[in-house]
Amino acid sequence: MDYILGIDQGSTNTRAAVMDSNGSIVSYRAGEGSYFPRYGVEASMGLVMATVQGALKDASISADDLGVVVAGVSGIDFNGDELLIHNALKDRFAHQDIVACNDCEIAFYSGTTKFVGAVLCAGTGSNAGFFAPDGRKFVMSDYIKQSLQGGSAIAVRAIEAVFESEIGMWPETGLTGAFLDFAGAGSVGELLKRYMKEEGFSTRTKYMVPQILELAQSGDTVARVVLSAFADDLCACFSAAMDKMGMLELDCDIVLAGSVFTGRANILTGMVTERLSRYAENANIISARFEPVIGACIMGLRKKRGDYDEQAALNTAISAIKLGLTRAV
């Protein structure tokens, strides 16, 4: 039982990776995602197992070769959720050590080798986790309001800025043309009608986030204001929770993870880093190095061996690069 299985299940994808006892990632698979509070534990675990079986096959091992299973699962937000998923996994991995946690916790370990610190995740939505020196843990999840929910919230702020620009509250902006092209609309009025009346359209605007970031990076004033306001509000929320945990003065790592923070010279990453540095002056603010599923494997290796030394870290980095599981920072 020398191997570790890492699982990352979000609403879009389920990912599974197998790590050996030396820290090398030996296989990886991605499959369909789920959200167990909506679709049920059995349906979600069915998708987990379909993905896991592929990863085990690629590693040329069976479940009996696993010593530890670590699963970061979207939807583990309230008391009892961890136990629910733990028990569901135990039904499938009876002889393995099981760890079930919110998916932002595995994202923390995809960026740092420390046990104490915090993680701020922003993808389609937002989440944050805090891991205190005394062992306390707090995951924000639904405490984060809708206007701060990652790419979805950024897209809403940006399209509202388009409408406000149309009525003269803001100067002309490249966001207008970008959203018109996205919608195939001939005017802002037509765009507004689709946004207000067409089912599912407002949800699809989240796919505009890369263009919003690009416009801000190129100097579009309104796009920059949209991102700046989002960064202000998100960092204030994050820092308040960090302060309540008694961690604001700590010398620790704050990991930025998720698709919204991905990419070289990401303007939003720079804004968030600068603002968090004002609040947490002693913290080291870093970007996630790996996909979160690798963080799950690292957690498992630590549980199995009690450490994660430099050689294991090097093995992880080399194998993750080969499998395309590193993040562009």
Looking at per-residue pLDDT, the higher value among 179 and 1 belongs to 179
CA distance readout (Å), 226 to 120, 127, 154, 212: 19, 20, 7, 9
DSSP 8-state symbol, 136: -
CATH for 115-287 is: 3.30.420.40
pLDDT digits (tens, 9 = 90+) for 73-115: 999 999 999 999 999 999 999 999 999 999 999 999 999 988 8
What pTM value is reported for the model? 0.92
Q: State the CB neighbour count (10 A cutoff) for residue 249.
A: 12
Contact assessment for residue 262 and residue 150, using Cβ atoms and an 8 Å cutoff: no
pLDDT score for 218: 96
pLDDT digits (tens, 9 = 90+) for 285-308: 999 999 999 999 999 999 998 889
Residue 250 pLDDT > 60, yes or no? yes
pLDDT score for 71: 98
How much is the average pLDDT of 123-145? Answer: 95
User: Of 196, 195, 276, 202, which is closest to residue 233 (Cα–Cα)?
Assistant: 276
Where residue 311 falls (left for φ over 0; alpha for ψ -120 to 50; beta otherwise) is alpha
Instruction: List b or e across 282-298, with b for residues whose CB sees 16 or more CB atoms inside 10 angstroms.
Output: ebebbbbbbbbbbbbbb
Question: Where, residue-wise, is CATH 3.30.420.40 in the chain?
Answer: 3-111+289-322, 115-287
Residue 44 pLDDT > 80, yes or no? yes
Structure tokens at 51: 């993905």
Contact assessment for residue 77 and residue 48, using Cβ atoms and an 8 Å cutoff: no
The rounded mean pLDDT for the chain is: 96
Q: How many residues does the chain have?
A: 329
User: Of 6, 14, 75, 12, which is closest to residue 41 (Cα–Cα)?
Assistant: 75
Residue 329 pLDDT > 60, yes or no? no
3-111+289-322 CATH fold: Nucleotidyltransferase; domain 5 (3.30.420)
